[in-house]
Every structure is written in C-alpha cells, then in structure tokens.
Chains A and B, each alone.
Chain A
C-alpha cells in the first residue's frame, strides 16, 4: 500500500475512518516508520490547533432552561392578535356608546366632560390608579382610548378647554402610555372578559360596559363658538389614529407598532429630583453629555436626553419596573431580560428596551434600531 495521505491521517486520528479503512491504515503504519513519524507530527498539530481554538472560547455560562427560550416567542405571538382583538372590540363598543350620547334629547349634563367612575372592571383592577382629571389618567389602563366628538358645545368647561383645544387629548394620553403595558393590560381584560363570555351569552353587554365606563368620553369644544351645526361623524381615535367612521360603521386601521414617546415635551427637571423619582441614579450612556432630565408629568418616569458626538439627541426613558404586575407579566419580563435573544426583539420591531438594576430603560432617537441598540447596550 502507498503511504497514507494527510487527510486520511487526520481522519484516522479524529476517529472518523470506517473500520475497514482504519484497519488498512493500521496495517500500513506497522510497516512504515516514515508514516509513523508523520502520524506523531499530525497528532501534535491537531492538539496544537485545538488548544489555540480553546484560547478563543467564550466564557462558560449557565444555560437558560430550554422552556424559557420558547416562552417569549409564544407570548409575543399570542399577545399581539389578542391585543388587537381587544382594541377592536373596545372600539366597536365605543362607537355604540358615542352614537348613544349623540342622540338628541340628552341633557346638558351629559354634554359636560364625563370622567366616568372606574367601574371595578378586570382592567381597572390590574392596574389601580387615581381617577382624576389631570393627565394622570394616562396611568389608567384604557386612557389611551378616547373618543372625540366633533359636536360643538357652548357649555364647555375650562378643564375641557385645557385638554382639548390645545393639543389633542389623545396625543397627551398616548404620550405617557407605554405600549407594552397597554397591550398587556388590554389583553388581560379580554382574557377575563372572554372567559366570562363563555359562561353566559349576555356577557357581551358586560363586555362593552366596563370598557366605555373606563374611557374618557367627551365632547370636543369647537374653537369658534358660532359654529353650531353638528359636523360629520367624527372618527374614533385609538392611539391618535383614526380607527374608522363611527357613523358609517366602517372600521379601518393601520398597524402601529410602537407609539412614539413624546418625551421632548416633558418638563425639564434637575438631576436630584430625577433621582428622587426613580429612587436610584438615572441610567446614562457614559461618555455623552446629558442635555436634560425630563419628567413625565403623568407617571414616575424620567427621560434623560443625551447628545452624541455627532450632535444627535437621544433619549433614555426610564422607569422603575412595575412591581404590581401580576406573576405572569413579571415572569415574562424576567425572561425577556435574561434570555430573550435581542434578535427576536428586533424582528418584532419593538422599541428597544433593557433592564438595568430596578429600572426599565427604553431608548429613542433619530437613529437606526441597530445603532440605538448598540447605544442602549452601553447604558449603565
């Protein structure tokens, strides 16, 4: 037999030769000192190469349980459609309610702003918050749903004016609203209501009631009091996006994944008050100048504006992780934090977020998601 070639020697040493071939090599080696010498050399080479590769090995870390890899994926798959269904159902309910209140013969009482008492609906219980007329209603689960009616109304109140004539109230509400939270809460509400609906058919009625009662429904004051004619049926607004025509019943919507956080409108505060709000030092990206700390007027939330070397302003929106979330929600965020691949989050086109200590940090700025992600990585 001719000498054993290099590749075969490596396969032999790697234990990858079929037994027949292996025996043939063994036979040759016994009678060929030259090949024996090469065998020793090649063995040394293999060991050397694998030692080098061993140097370039990642640190060994604990493996996350396989189940937890599946979890975020599943919840993401389920939560979105459920949340959309919930939004749709609420919108339809609102449409009915709005039509009812537009019927003639209503007293002026109903025309004044109505902040309906929060009925103990499933949603309201999930996330208790004070029911007041200030932007703090953004804390309440359904606050991002608001129905605007185009009817003019001379009997408006100052309070009304403040909210509605300057900026759309819907915008203000959605500013402060974290989309993730709203999704979770709405999904929770629907789950509960859905369960109820299975039990009794009349639950459909209950389904629209807690929704409407928890939503700010009011008449928009006309800017010019003289314009007294009722205008065309107004659109239902969800997250500042017209959902459809309430009168015609045609519902159309476009997908909006993450509501922009308008943190640039929040009042600027000093660092110490910002620290007081969060309970810990605000997280910043080292190396960038801090331009301002801003406080969300409606929540315990801080936006840290920093300027990159290129002059771009980015915002880190920070809040203490909500400990009132139920077990599921907490487990979910823990999973997202510890294990969920960032690639997955990116695929979902979510706003980028990570957890640093007790804080949940989101990043916002006029950069690509990739760049924002890299910057967020540096936050500490």
Chain B
C-alpha cells in the first residue's frame, strides 16, 4: 500500500498541481494544496488514491476560492497587495496568453470546466464520471462542448483585445 501511494505520487503529483493551478491560479498555492492532499492521503490511505486525491483537491480548491474571496474583501481595506506579482521567468506575452486562457475557462459552466480540467489532468472517462456524477456516456459529450467553448471564448477574447487596441 505505501508503495502504491508512492507510485501514485510519482505519476499523479504533477497532474494534480496542474489541475489545482487552473483553479487557484497561483503556482505556489497549487503546489501547497497538492502536497496537502497527498499528506492527507498518507494519513487516510484511501482505496482509490487517484480518484480520492482529485476529489480532495477539488474541495480544497473550492474552499480556497471562498477564502480568497473573503480575503480580497479584506485586503481592499489594506490596499497592500501589488497586483499578482509576476514571476521572473514569465515573459509579458506568456502572461497575456495565460490571462486570456484563464478568462476563457471562466466562461465555461462549472461542470464543463471541471470535466475539461480533470481530463487534462489525466483522469479517464470512468474516473471523471465517478467524480462528477455524470454518466460515462455523457463525459464525451461534455468534453466536446467544453473544448469548443474554450476555444471560442479564447478567440473571442483575443479579437476583442485587437478591436480594443484598434
């Protein structure tokens, strides 16, 4: 069992970080949460660690989002935080692109987004179905719609920027 978890860790950790990153949009935070999820898995020893980890991670990200919303309210009083200090290895273009994708993802329905992110984090249709409560047959349809909307929203966003720039 411990070996199991070690394997899962090796194969799933980067995917879990990626999954969380698209929810909290902060690399450090995503890593922290992923590590916390694994620390909990070490304590709980779930039967299906992979699925369990993603469920826990999704819950943590949701709590995190609520917490962040609360904190934003508070921090506006402080007016302390410089806006999202960019990391040094980021070029401006990369940041812009990422921001566009982020906005496009935000336009998806929560379910479409969740399915898309889970798929992108390497979850199978079966695993996605188990986690989201969708029928397995509906996962393909949901994914198809999510992908289409993501691409459309992204392109619409880019166009709008071009128009705005003139």
Contacts and interface: CB of A to CB of B under 8 A. Distances in A.
Do the two chains belong together in a single complex? yes
Interface of A: 5-11, 14, 16, 42, 45-46, 48-50, 52-53, 55-61, 63-64, 66, 69-70, 73, 285, 287-288, 308-310, 312, 339-344, 367-368, 370-371, 374-375, 378
A118 B79 CA distance: 50
Contacts of A50: 120
Contact of B116 (A49, A64, A287, A371): A49
Nearest to B27: A58
Contact of B79 (A57, A60, A309, A342): A309
Contact of A69 (B39, B80, B89, B144): B39
A14 B140 CA distance: 9
Nearest to A64: B35
A342 B125 CA distance: 32
Contacts of B54: none
Interface in B104-132: 104-105, 116-117, 119-120, 124-125
A16 B43 contact: no
B143 A370 contact: no
B58 interface: no
Contacts of A64: 35
A350 to B, nearest CB: 15
Contact of B140 (A7, A53, A60, A342): A7
B144 A9 contact: yes
Nearest to A63: B13
Nearest to B79: A309
Given A60-B14, A343-B36, A371-B78, A52 B137 contact: no
B78 A57 contact: no
Contact of B75 (A69, A342, A374): A374
Interface string B64-92: 00010011001101111110000101000
A16 B43 CA distance: 33
Label chain A's interface by main secondary structure. Answer: helix
Given A45-B148, A53-B101, A287-B80, A58 B32 contact: no
A378 B142 CA distance: 40
Interface of B: 5-6, 9-10, 13-14, 17-18, 21-22, 27, 30-33, 35-36, 38-39, 42-43, 60, 67, 70-71, 74-75, 77-82, 87, 89, 94, 97-98, 101-102, 104-105, 116-117, 119-120, 124-125, 137-144, 146-148, 150-151, 154
24 contacts: A10-B143, A11-B139, A45-B147, A46-B147, A49-B150, A52-B154, A53-B116, A55-B97, A55-B101, A56-B102, A56-B105, A58-B17, A59-B89, A61-B27, A63-B10, A73-B39, A73-B43, A308-B78, A310-B77, A344-B39, A371-B78, A374-B71, A374-B80, A374-B81
Given A14-B119, A45-B151, A52-B101, A368 B74 contact: yes
Task: Return the 3 tightest CB-CB contacts between A and B, nearest first.
Answer: A7-B141, A11-B140, A7-B140
Contacts of B30: 58
Contact of A343 (B33, B78, B119, B139): B33
Nearest to B6: A66
Given A53-B120, A56-B22, A343-B33, A7 B5 contact: no
A302 B74 CA distance: 28
A339 B36 CA distance: 9
Contact of A7 (B39, B105, B137): B137
Residue with the highest number of chain A CB atoms closer than 10 Å, among B75, B102, B137: B75
Nearest to A339: B35
Contacts of A287: 80, 82
A371 B71 CA distance: 7
